[in-house]
Amino acid sequence: MSITSSAALAAIIDHTILRPDATEADVEQFCAEALQWSFASVCVNPLNIPRVAAALGGSPVKACSVVGFPLGATSTDVKRREVEWVVAEGAAEVDMVISIGTLKSVGAGPVGEEVAALKAACGTALLKVILETALLTDAEIVAASLAAEAAGADFVKTSTGFTQKGATVEAVALIRRTVRPDIGVKASGGIRSFAEAMAMVGAGASRIGTSRGTALMREAHFGA
């Protein structure tokens, strides 16, 4: 995709606050910043979704929740119930974590089955599938991306930001080459500057997840 302005970049940023020590005031600040800069969404842990949905209500900025976060190591049934709850509480977008150990043990078949179940639970909410690319081989990234695509995912996402490495240009480019053009690619984890965000977009990212959305916008506008 082509990004020609800071406003265009802002429109694809998921302003993300997933710290375990995030306070209600912190979450409310992120919502205010997202409204100020017209970000795509505010992405939070499930407990904060009702607050975010209320703060963003009536605006184009979406409420986004993570599910099975950050390890992905819970059952499909537990993740499905989590999806149902966050959607009922106002989440318009859901970022789920796959079962990484399952993928490595038996392949991508169960990943696709889980994605399909969670996509059905989403209703009209978008579903983004987090692969945790730092823990996967290229072949595993391709297999999981294809399984997610076939199961109805709206986006394939690189990372949680909670392992040793987040998004890389190489992983973003690999996912972009693998999935259909109508499937989004979200780069997330460790994106801390405007230049890094633009590099991810150049590699094929159509959504950027970062806790530094406001800093990126200030850098784009003021150079700092």
Residues with a catalytic annotation lie at: 95, 157, 186
The pairing of beta strand 207-210 with beta strand 13-17: parallel
- Residue 201 to residues 4, 30, 84, 145, Cα–Cα distance (Å): 11, 23, 31, 18
| 97: β partners | 130
Question: Of 46, 52, 118, 115, nearest to 85 (Cα)?
Answer: 46
DSSP string, 121-181: HHTTSEEEEE--GGGS-HHHHHHHHHHHHHTT-SEEE---S-SS----HHHHHHHHHHS-T
Residue 147 contacts residue 111 (beta carbons within 8 Å): yes
Residue 216 contacts residue 194 (beta carbons within 8 Å): yes
- Token reading at 119: 């996509």
